[in-house]
Amino acid sequence: MSAAEETTGEETPWGEVTPEAARRLLVAAVDAFAERGYHATTTRDIAGRAGMSPAALYIHFKTKEELLHRISKIGHERALCVLDTEADRDGTAAERLAGAVRSFVRWHAERHTTARVVQYELDALGEEHRTEIVALRRRSDAVVRRIINEGVRDGEFDVPDVSGTTLAVLSLCIDVARWFNARGSRTPDEVGELYADLVLRMVGARTAPDPK
Amino acid sequence: MSAAEETTGEETPWGEVTPEAARRLLVAAVDAFAERGYHATTTRDIAGRAGMSPAALYIHFKTKEELLHRISKIGHERALCVLDTEADRDGTAAERLAGAVRSFVRWHAERHTTARVVQYELDALGEEHRTEIVALRRRSDAVVRRIINEGVRDGEFDVPDVSGTTLAVLSLCIDVARWFNARGSRTPDEVGELYADLVLRMVGARTAPDPK
DNA sequence: CCCGAACCTGAGCAAGCGCTTAGGGGCCGT
DNA sequence: ACGGCCCCTAAGCGCTTGCTCAGGTTCGGG
């Protein structure tokens, strides 16, 4: 049930945000941005959710945009980390692709409120911050593309258009953040499993990697 | 090259918006909303793009939200229409599914600025207007689900989870509006073709519907 | 020549926005 | 006991927002 305390530094999602009050503000901002969008969210709303006055926000963050930047950066790093650890495992390309999609999708479903901000409020960032985040995003693309290329090279996959298929796979995963609803009928694990299977079909994997 | 004048009432996208000045405002609003998002767009910006004063907007539309509603409604109806005409053709389920995806994706790519507003600014609408639009959206879902169900029934498709696969197919198509870039390397037709193929793989279609 | 309808503008209102500033209260070592 | 430091708030500044309204221009019909 609770996967909050673990030995890996990966859990307790915003652990690295150092002053405790700043973390409360940041979590409040994630909720507000995910619910209403960045531009429709007021600094007063964020401060209110964190139980503080509007002015308290500016002790910990220079601007409202800095809040979005911190959220976006940490979120992207987490998502990329999830993808990387699965891609670097041993096993066939099909196993690694399935693992990567499963984990990536599960992350987008479990942390769908964070993911929504991270994926859909990107161009509310300022010029410099946006290009920084876009660079992180290209690395996700490279990870998936590499696995698919290896699968093609080893004769495991049948993919006529590697770039296009990479795009489609990532697009499919990312869009989970848009529609996933915690009160819906599917758990994050179920969605991850379903999507891993669909992606293997998309790349024409020869052998389904049976977990047994 | 130009598919702007045709006998079907479907072309010249905003033809049904009756006063010509209102149409200019609406087109300006689509551009602005797609570029910056609904909440970040000001009524002054919309009016400016249409070459009018801010006050002129309120002669043709009661509020800024009404503009979004008109755009959203017409856009959804168009997309649904595209989907429906392909779904009602004769042919195997695979042919109809491929046709539907191809056209739906092409629409999202060609009209990606409209599609972005239609698909991603949904919850900037007021309560009543949003539920009206959500109803339209469910109809798209039903169309795709029906084709997949028929394919399974006729033994053409191998789909363990029809609901989940329907969701994934629509999700894949809709997300095109987010990433498609007119200055990119792919044409709407190419993306449509690629996606139709990927979707047929997702449903495990027995026979690829060769157009020849 | 004038009339009324259709359409648009300049000026501006009340409200809400992001953000700043002056100052108060609790907790530390000494 | 007390000074320095951190954290927070009340109040509010300057500006922009969605939207309004009185008045001007254009036009076809009598």
- pLDDT tens, position by position, A124-137: 999 999 999 999 99
- pLDDT tens, position by position, B61-116: 999 999 999 999 999 999 999 999 999 999 999 999 999 999 999 999 999 999 99
Q: What angle do CA B60, B130, A25 make, to 5 degrees?
A: 110
Measured between CB atoms, which of B171, B191, B197 is closest to A179?
A: B171
CB A73 within 8 A of CB A133: yes
Contact B160 A197 (CB under 8 A): yes
A43 touches strand C (CB under 7 A): yes
Helix%, strand%, coil% for chain B, nearest 5: 70, 0, 30
Contact list in A for residue B168 (CB cut-off 8 A) is 172, 194-195, 198
Mutation target vs B (from A101, A178, A191, A198; most B CBs, 10 A cutoff): A198
Contact list in B for residue A167 (CB cut-off 8 A) is 179
How many CA atoms are closer than 13 Å to the CA of A175, on its beta-carbon side?
Answer: 22
- Residues A48 and A91: their CA atoms lie apart, in Å, by 49
A204 and chain B: CB distance < 8 Å anywhere? yes
State how far the alpha carbon of B118 is from the alpha carbons of A170, A194, B39, in Å. Answer: 22, 27, 14
* pLDDT category of residue A11 using cuts at 50, 70 and 90: low
pTM of this structure? 0.89
- Residues B108 and B120: their CA atoms lie apart, in Å, by 12
CB proximity list for A60: less than 8 A, separation 6 or greater:
A19, A21, A22, A25
Of A12, A18, A27, the C-alpha closest to A67 is A27
Q: Could you tell me how many CB contacts below 8 A there are between chain A and chain B?
A: 65
Contact A171 B164 (CB under 8 A): no
A209 and chain B: CB distance < 8 Å anywhere? no
